[in-house]
Amino acid sequence: MTIAKETASILEKLGVAKDALSGGDLIVRSPVTGEQIAALKSISAADAGKAIDAAHKAFQAWRLVPGPKRGELVRLLGEELRAHKAELGRLVSIEVGKIPSEGLGEVQEMIDICDFAVGLSRQLYGLTIATERPGHRMMETWHPLGVVGVISAFNFPVAVWSWNAALALVCGDAVVWKPSEKTPLTALACEAIFKRAAKRFGADAPEGLLQVLIGDRAAGEVLVDHPKVPLVSATGSTRMGREVGPRLAKRFARAVLELGGNNAGIVCPTADLDMALRAIAFGAMGTAGQRCTTLRRLFVHESVYDALLPRLKKAYQSVSVGNPLETSALVGPLIDKAAFDNMQKALKEAQAHGGKVTGGARFENGHAEAYYVHPALVEMPSQVSPVTEETFAPILYVMKYSDFDEALDLHNAVGAGLSSSIFTRDLQESERFLGVDGSDCGIANVNIGTSGAEIGGAFGGEKETGGGRESGSDAWKAYMRRATNTVNFSKALPLAQGVSFDI
């Protein structure tokens, strides 16, 4: 069966109409072979506006459904995802080129956030606060916010939607999703899966609660500019965030920005090198270097550099690259030619700055339009461009350090601030790294790599990563509005701060 046929058959099984997959302007290709697998119709700006209006109408009904009941819809969504994990995981592998365990892992992450959100649906609580006025009670109440816009990137085509949607739905919001134009089919699959859950939930799930806008950035711009969208959670490049952020600020809408990363690790003298090696290999080469949390920079102490480097090089030279649908390779394809060209450009620049490259060449698999590469390890004399920028491909720049403070400074001396890790058995070093003057990232790990975050913790980063937090901890608060309520149950009207105003 061709990939196109398999794709159509999975989508049909999930409930996506066959005629939606052809005849449109948006050509969808599988990076596995480069072949076209669908041609979808992009939504017009007018229809995107109508979809947002419909979602707003749905929100007005959904907000009246009690939180724990809203949680039941998300519980059903989790059940449907469990039932269709194999198909959706396979579709992620087809559309993004992830190896099977990562395709399935992405769906598992969706299931995990649904479980998290179901519990959360009974814990959307505020504080009761001491008041200075006798006979008064002061408290805060959290209310549903409205239509939540979700813009997602190609590399986590379904998990990022679920991080937002599961929380938004239990918080009483409707969701309008603009998936990446490179991965719209997995979005159609999620929409179909959501519809199954909504049908089982019954009439209390209003029509239009989830809308999917198929299209490129123009569709995203409608969402960003629409006055009925009080929050846009946008995941993608820092370039995208620079465009979206100010536009949202202009109309005082909230932004959850989840942008690029340039993540680093520090390998200290006491590090367990076996453990570090495995963590570095997965962090830097996994998902073909196309995770926002991919390890891109490594600072290795001079005392362990010569012990670690040869082993790392060996791992780079022996890692299997290949078709993720047909082989057990650990590294699948890059998303497209542009990604390949960017990688080659960065490697050339690194070499011009004295970088010594291992790997990096194209891996031919017989498909001219598919872009597989051998991951690249680059020994750099210092941290100069292109090391300071995110190149969304499997390149790991390795640098030697002698002084811990200097390594920390270099670690923090880039624009992005997403994820970081340290490999050490020295308590002072690990605590420094996690402390106030340590890593400046939103995620800081000890003795595990930079990637592979789990549901439960807040996910996101600082600086040019955008500052947004999603998924765990109290990230739900972004999806609700807070009202402070003061109730006077006395017979007097004392004013705060001792102000008197007797009429």
CB atoms within 10 A of CB 291: 23
Residue 7 or 450: the one with the smaller Cβ distance to ligand NAD is 450
Q: Which H/E stretch holds residue 421?
A: strand 419-423
Q: Using CA atoms, how far apart are residues 78 and 483, in angstroms rounded to an integer?
A: 31
Q: Is 41 exposed, middle or buried (0-12, 13-18, 19+ CB in 10 A)?
A: middle
Q: Using CB under 6 A, pick the residue from 141, 237, 344, 388 that binds ligand NAD.
A: 237
Q: 40-79: which residues touch ligand NAD (CB under 6 A)?
A: none
Helix, strand, coil: what percent of the chain each, to 5?
Answer: 40, 20, 40
Size of the site for ligand NAD (CB under 6 A): 29
Q: Using CB under 6 A, pick the residue from 74, 185, 408, 418 that binds ligand NAD.
A: 418
Terminal-residue alpha carbon distance, the chain: 84
Residue 80 or 181: the one with the smaller Cβ distance to ligand NAD is 181
Q: Using CB under 6 A, pick the residue from 72, 80, 221, 440 that binds ligand NAD.
A: 221
Backbone φ, ψ for residue 289 (5° rounding):
70, 15
Q: Measuring CA to CA, which residue among 298, 295, 280 is closest to residue 399?
A: 298
Residue 14 or 151: the one with the smaller Cβ distance to ligand NAD is 151
Asked if 217 is part of the footprint of ligand NAD (rule: CB under 6 A), the reply reads yes
Backbone φ, ψ for residue 369 (5° rounding):
-95, 10
Asked if 488 is part of the footprint of ligand NAD (rule: CB under 6 A), the reply reads no
Asked if 112 is part of the footprint of ligand NAD (rule: CB under 6 A), the reply reads no
CB of 64 to ligand NAD, least distance (A): 31
Residue 196 or 291: the one with the smaller Cβ distance to ligand NAD is 291
Asked if 455 is part of the footprint of ligand NAD (rule: CB under 6 A), the reply reads no
Q: Using CA atoms, how far apart are residues 245 and 258, in angstroms rounded to an integer?
A: 11
How many angstroms separate the Cα of 292 from the Cα of each of 155, 283, 378, 406? Answer: 8, 10, 19, 25
CB of 282 to ligand NAD, least distance (A): 17
Residue 217 or 313: the one with the smaller Cβ distance to ligand NAD is 217
CB of 257 to ligand NAD, least distance (A): 8
Q: 171-190: which residues touch ligand NAD (CB under 6 A)?
A: 178, 180-181
At 306, list the tokens: 């010569």
Asked whether the beta carbons of 309 and 300 are under 8 A apart, the reply is: yes
Q: Using CA atoms, how far apart are residues 103 and 324, in angstroms rounded to an integer?
A: 10
Choose one: 52-60, 76-84, 218-226, 400-408; the region binding ligand NAD (CB under 6 A): 218-226
Asked whether the beta carbons of 472 and 456 are under 8 A apart, the reply is: yes
What residues contact 114, with CB distance under 8 A and at least 6 apart? 74, 75, 77, 78, 81, 162, 166
CB of 477 to ligand NAD, least distance (A): 18
CB of 267 to ligand NAD, least distance (A): 23
Q: 304-333: which residues touch ligand NAD (CB under 6 A)?
A: none
Asked if 220 is part of the footprint of ligand NAD (rule: CB under 6 A), the reply reads yes
CB of 468 to ligand NAD, least distance (A): 8
Asked if 462 is part of the footprint of ligand NAD (rule: CB under 6 A), the reply reads no
Handedness of CA 197, 200, 201, 205 (dihedral sign): positive
Q: Using CB under 6 A, pick the residue from 155, 358, 391, 420 that binds ligand NAD.
A: 155
Q: Which H/E stretch holds residue 263?
A: strand 263-267
Q: Of the listed 258, 390, 429, 470, which one is catalytic?
A: 258
Residue 152 or 424: the one with the smaller Cβ distance to ligand NAD is 152
Choose one: 12-20, 199-207, 240-248, 431-439; the region binding ligand NAD (CB under 6 A): 240-248
Choose one: 197-205, 232-240, 403-411, 450-458; the region binding ligand NAD (CB under 6 A): 232-240
Q: Which H/E stretch holds residue 45?
A: helix 45-62
Residue 47 or 243: the one with the smaller Cβ distance to ligand NAD is 243
Strand, coil or helix: 53:
helix
Asked if 292 is part of the footprint of ligand NAD (rule: CB under 6 A), the reply reads yes
Is residue 258 annotated as a catalytic residue, yes or no?
Answer: yes
Query: Crossing angle for the helix pair 159-170 and 100-120, nearest 10 degrees?
Result: 10
How many angstroms separate the Cα of 381 from the Cα of each of 105, 350, 357, 399? Answer: 37, 10, 12, 6
Q: Which residue has the tokens 């998290």?
A: 116
Contact pattern from residue 115 through residue 154 relative to ligand NAD, giving x for each residue in contact according to CB under 6 A and a dash for the rest: ------------------------------------xxxx
Q: How many residues does the chain have?
A: 503
CB of 79 to ligand NAD, least distance (A): 26
Q: Using CB under 6 A, pick the residue from 109, 191, 390, 429 that binds ligand NAD.
A: 390
Q: Measuring CA to CA, which residue among 423, 413, 352 is closest to residue 381?
A: 352
Q: Using CA atoms, how far apart are residues 456 and 247, in angstroms rounded to an integer?
A: 30
Q: Using CB under 6 A, pick the residue from 224, 268, 277, 441 that binds ligand NAD.
A: 224
Residue 145 or 257: the one with the smaller Cβ distance to ligand NAD is 257
Q: Using CA atoms, how far apart are residues 157 and 290, in angstroms rounded to an integer?
A: 12
Q: Measuring CA to CA, which residue among 382, 404, 378 is closest to residue 268?
A: 404
Q: 241-270: which residues touch ligand NAD (CB under 6 A)?
A: 243-244, 258-261
Residue 6 or 243: the one with the smaller Cβ distance to ligand NAD is 243
Which residues are the active-site residues? 258
The footprint of ligand NAD (CB under 6 A) covers 151-156, 178, 180-181, 216-217, 220-221, 224, 235-237, 240, 243-244, 258-261, 292, 390, 392, 418, 465
